[in-house]
A and B are shown apart, each in its own frame.
Chain A
Amino acid sequence: MNVMLYSMEIAMVLSGLGILMLDLGTPARGKRDLGYLAAFLMSLLLLQSVFMPEVQDGFSLLSSGHSITEGPGYKLDAFARYFKHLFLLAAILVLLMAVDFAGTLRARLAEFFALVLFALTGMSAAASATNFITLFVSIELITVSFYVLTSFQRGQMRSLEAGVKYLILGAAASAVLVYGIALVYGATGSMEFAALGKACPSAEHDHLLRLGLLLVIAGLGFKIAAFPFQIWVPDVYQGAPAPVTAFLAVGSKAAGFALLMRLCHHLRPDLRELTLTVLAALAGATILYGSLCALRQRNLKRLFGYAGIASAGYLLLGLLALNAQPGASPSGAQGCHAMMFYLAGYLIAVMAAFTVLCHLDGEDEDLSVLAGLHARSPLLATVLTLSVVSMAGLPPLMGFLGKFLLLQSAFEVLSPHPAQLWLMVVALGGVVISLYYYFGILRAIYWGGGISPGRPAGESEAITVPPLARLLLIACGLILLWVGIFPQALLEWLGDAVALFR
């Protein structure tokens, strides 16, 4: 049994616990440094994993020299490794954002950082899950840590309310998930995803399996905020503190999609037919719901919530490609390839946007908070513009390539059966509708709030951005622009990450 296989998760948990221990010793002033420490540890882990991958599978204690990447319910392949790096990057950005955001969190900073690390552990475990037990455990680890994180600002009613809502609905979803797992286990007799590939002995087994599968998809649907289960997103995004919302929007959604990808990969051809129709319906409805609701939205966080729902819809399009052809197929790989690229772009854009939000003083994040931002702080304005335009999917930024790849794989799947034309129309329409609210943000920055260009911006004071955050923002902006124009490096890296599906 190769212990090193789980070294990344172990490292994350140990550093979380370490932070908690250190918290006893550090004086009140030093609490922020814990955040920097946590971020530093995670970046160490990230660098190690990127540049020295053989540490994980190289010197396995008992095995005969060749690297074992398999464990019970756990698999560390290029696909999992890519997602782990995504989650590590997200966690680092959230930790640094939380340090600057510490002013509003006030008490118990160490617990905040520790919980972020625990949630990170859950996500990286989810990336490697190959059986339902690991799936359930990782999902629950993420959810429970987010219960606490969303309600972290005890003093404010909003945070508590968000926490409670997320708690009740999250618990209901996980109950549905467990029941689904039970039925699938009942039908296939084994917890492994691979078991889904075998044929069912009898008809009612098959019927049970279908019901179980639908319930599992429903449970995961809650995580990725797909249409019927996205009702919690706006309130929780608005109530939770900004770093948590960002982490929730990116981390838990990516974990949900990683699990769905692995799950769909193992499905039997007739099950694939079922999931194809289900996911097509979900995708169309999610895009429509997310785009339409955001049109009239004035609150920034809720706006990003609805935008997140819409992007979940687009990601589901990628998932369709996986289910179109039986077994491993080039178009399936292309679908996942597009999803993973889109997730990377989405992560950086959301993190940049929320970092900017943290630095905007303004209790209720209404659009008018952004008024005159171009004058008050050109850096924040430019980075927010870049992230919004990338989310809108306009060239030459990363988001455009993500959406382009998704549309390409969706078209690959849909062109043989013209009946699915409505989905293409909805997807294209969604992009156009989304421009309305994304450009509403641009309008708020550059000429919103009745600030005519002539009026000197001196009245509303300039925002000073701390040096580390400034560096972070510039880095995010540059990544969005650079990868948008020269994506070849990332595309190749994704190429072998998707080898599993080809």
Chain B
Amino acid sequence: MSPLTLIWLVPLLMALVLLALPARHTGLIRRLTLVATLLPLLASVLVFATLESAPAGRGTLATAWAAARSQSPQFNEAAAPLEVQYQFKYTERTQWMPSLGIGYHVGVDGLSAALLLMATLVAFAAACCARDVTARQKEFHVLLLLMAGGISGAFVSLDLFGMYLFHELALVPTFIMIGVWGRGENRNYAAYKVTLYLSAGAILVLAGLIGLAQFCRATYPSSELSGYNLLELYRMLSETHGTGLGEGLRPLILPALLLGFGILVSLWPFHTWAPLAYASAPTATAMMHAGVIKKFGLYGMIRVVLPLQPFADATYFWWHLLLALGLASLLWSGLVAMRQKDLTGMLGYSSVAHMGFVFLGIASLNLVGLAGAVLVMVAHGLLAALSFGLAGHLHAQCRTLEMARLGGLLREMPFVGTALLMALLAGCGVPGFANFAGEITVLFGLWKSQPAATVLACWAALIISAVYMLRAVRQVLHGPTPAVHQAYVDATTWNERLPYVLLLGALLLLGVFPRLITQKMNRCYQPTMTDKGLHAAHPAPR
């Protein structure tokens, strides 16, 4: 039983256990949820830590523990050749739907291990911050666990169908959570908008995946290859160099996947659902969604769409489009964030802007940009969770997040104020936090191919983000305290402070030691992304 199966199974099983419990034991329910999110966190920390030394291929907790102590990468004889070639660790493969060729296949490499760690950490923090839910806690915690288990499964699954299925687990819980426990008067509209946008994106991705699988079966009619397994897809792409991707509806596979994943991640023209959803969602849902579930689209883009790049579209038209849209979401959402009157609205648009950075990193089509993109993904996950958690705490105290009506909170609530100050500074790319390391790597990666776009990206990264973040700090934290206000309660007890301390600690740790992620990232072999291959395909301007 690979630790990865444990990571997504524990929350789902606990959700079933909670279903059986009577609704009035709220304390017990909350503690069980904390346990059900803490175990996967510890397991993913172990997996992340021992990633280098763990043997490629099949691995369990025992082998992980042995690998951690021995520090020398042992060879694992039971590993499948594909897993060794692409350096996937802790893999586990069992039959699931053999007649459709779909199997349960989990495995982790640098990219997914980092995202998994961030996902489980944010899930644990969200479980801690779910304390501000007072009505119908049992249903809320069940839905939260469903979300947490689903997204962890999505990050570890190597079978595209399984990855899609796990991600979709989060769709209905989001709708119900925003509808029942949401904030603000247009939460109905927000609930519908989020669900329809996400399902539209997901259905496009599904169509793309079906097309891809059908293309695989067409090129390998004899073998029982199903076309849904990621590793077989990589092998097939590297062997046939994607010759068949030209005729019939197949040229539409790349745009469908790109667009579908783009919608899931609030790419520029399809981003209006994100700020609205995060503003009206309860704290824990906003943390999970803005922090983790949004990253699935990007993860999918890197895992599935990027390897298609040199074959499916020689003119890079779609990648230039992605670059343009990424730049648009970076600048546009940044400028719109400046005009937001509500704190969570501003945070929502700033998270859309940060996604712009990841799109730029991916569209730069080189390993440096990609490493930067991953760093920004992880950093933004932690940052979004932290800022929405703190915004939730503020909303619980002041009943409103209208920035004009808040003020001087740094004096009223020293701990939460300082944490929010650090979060907002991290948001505008202050070094020492992980966001800066990611953004600077993306800029370095992007400069080689698109110097002009990089200048605009720098302007957005340094100036626009500084303007709206500092404006928020000025209105919410600094300035005189508003006349009419009751005593605000700061986060004093330890279990109130734990989520914020954890997230801040992770942000600072990755900010000071970004090597922890980039080191593992480089080791993860992208089939077509070797720099030689890319540069040959994508000549630098000079």
The interface of chain A, by Cβ under 8 A from chain B, is 374, 385, 389, 394-396, 400, 404-405, 407-408, 411-412, 414-418, 421, 424, 428, 431-432, 435-436, 439, 442-443, 446-447, 453-454, 486-488, 491-492, 495
Contact = CB atoms under 8 A, between A and B. Distances in A.
Given A439-B195, A446-B179, A487 B97 contact: yes
B100 A491 contact: yes
29 contacts: A389-B172, A394-B168, A394-B171, A394-B199, A395-B165, A396-B169, A407-B207, A408-B210, A408-B213, A415-B250, A416-B248, A418-B248, A421-B252, A424-B207, A428-B207, A431-B199, A432-B200, A435-B195, A436-B192, A442-B175, A443-B191, A446-B176, A446-B179, A447-B180, A453-B180, A453-B181, A488-B95, A491-B99, A491-B100
Interface string B328-356: 00000000000000000000000000000
Nearest to A494: B99
Interface in B242-288: 248-250, 252
B458 interface: no
B168 A436 contact: no
- Shortest 4 CB-CB distances between A and B: which pairs? A395-B165, A453-B135, A415-B248, A415-B249
A415 B97 contact: no
Nearest to A492: B99
Nearest to A388: B172
A495 B171 CA distance: 31
Interface in B87-103: 95-100
Nearest to A443: B179
A411 B179 contact: no
B172 A442 contact: yes
Given A442-B175, A488-B97, A411 B139 contact: no
Interface string B190-226: 0110011001100110110011011000000000000
Interface residues of B, number: 39
Nearest to A416: B248
A97 to B, nearest CB: 26
Given A395-B164, A395-B169, A488-B98, A374 B210 contact: no
Contacts, number: 92
Given A411-B211, A416-B248, A436 B165 contact: no
Given A395-B168, A435-B195, A404 B206 contact: yes
Given A400-B165, A411-B210, A432-B200, 10 more contacts: A394-B172, A394-B199, A395-B168, A396-B165, A396-B169, A400-B168, A411-B211, A421-B252, A439-B195, A487-B97
Interface in B464-516: none
Contacts of A491: 97, 99-100
Contacts of A411: 207, 210-211, 214, 249
B210 A432 contact: no
A442 B176 contact: yes
A435 B200 CA distance: 10
A412 B214 contact: yes
B538 to A, nearest CB: 29
Contacts of B214: 408, 411-412, 415
Contacts of B176: 442, 446
B188 interface: yes
B99 A495 contact: yes
Contact of A435 (B188, B196, B211, B213): B196
Contact of A447 (B95, B179, B206, B248): B179
B136 interface: yes
Contacts of B200: 432
Contacts of B99: 488, 491-492, 495
A443 B249 CA distance: 37
A11 B211 CA distance: 47
Given A404-B206, A411-B211, A454-B135, A435 B199 contact: yes
Contacts of B97: 487-488, 491
Nearest to A486: B96
A439 B95 CA distance: 33
A443 to B, nearest CB: 6
Nearest to A408: B210
Contacts of B168: 394-396, 400
Contact of A453 (B136, B195, B210, B249): B136
Given A415-B214, A453-B181, A432 B199 contact: yes
B217 to A, nearest CB: 9
Contacts of B203: 428, 431-432
A395 B172 CA distance: 10
B196 A436 contact: yes
A453 B191 CA distance: 16
Interface in B58-98: 95-98
A493 to B, nearest CB: 10
A337 B181 CA distance: 42
A488 B96 contact: yes
Contacts of A421: 249, 252
Contacts of B95: 488
A52 B176 CA distance: 46
Contacts of A407: 206-207, 210
Contacts of B199: 394, 431-432, 435
A374 B214 CA distance: 42
Nearest to B165: A395
Interface string B357-368: 000000000000
A374 B249 contact: no
Nearest to A424: B207
B21 to A, nearest CB: 12
Contacts of B252: 421
Contacts of B211: 411, 415
Given A428-B207, A442-B176, A418 B249 contact: yes
Interface in B298-334: none
Nearest to B221: A330
A237 to B, nearest CB: 25
A61 B171 CA distance: 58
B213 to A, nearest CB: 8
Contacts of A374: 139
Nearest to B12: A396
Contacts of B250: 415
Contacts of B169: 395-396
Contacts of B196: 432, 435-436
B326 to A, nearest CB: 24
Contacts of A416: 248
Query: B171, B188, B204: which has the most chain A beta carbons within 10 Å?
Result: B171
| Residue from B98, B191, B206 whose CB has the most chain A CB atoms within 10 Å | B206
B498 to A, nearest CB: 27
Contacts of A418: 248-249
B414 to A, nearest CB: 32
B98 A439 contact: no
Nearest to B133: A453
Nearest to B167: A395
B139 A439 contact: no
A490 to B, nearest CB: 10
A296 to B, nearest CB: 14
A404 B179 CA distance: 28
B249 A439 contact: no
Interface in B106-148: 135-136, 139
Contacts of B206: 404, 407
B207 to A, nearest CB: 6
Nearest to B248: A415
A389 B175 CA distance: 12
Contacts of B207: 407, 411, 424, 428
Contacts of A400: 165, 168
A114 B181 CA distance: 49
A252 to B, nearest CB: 29
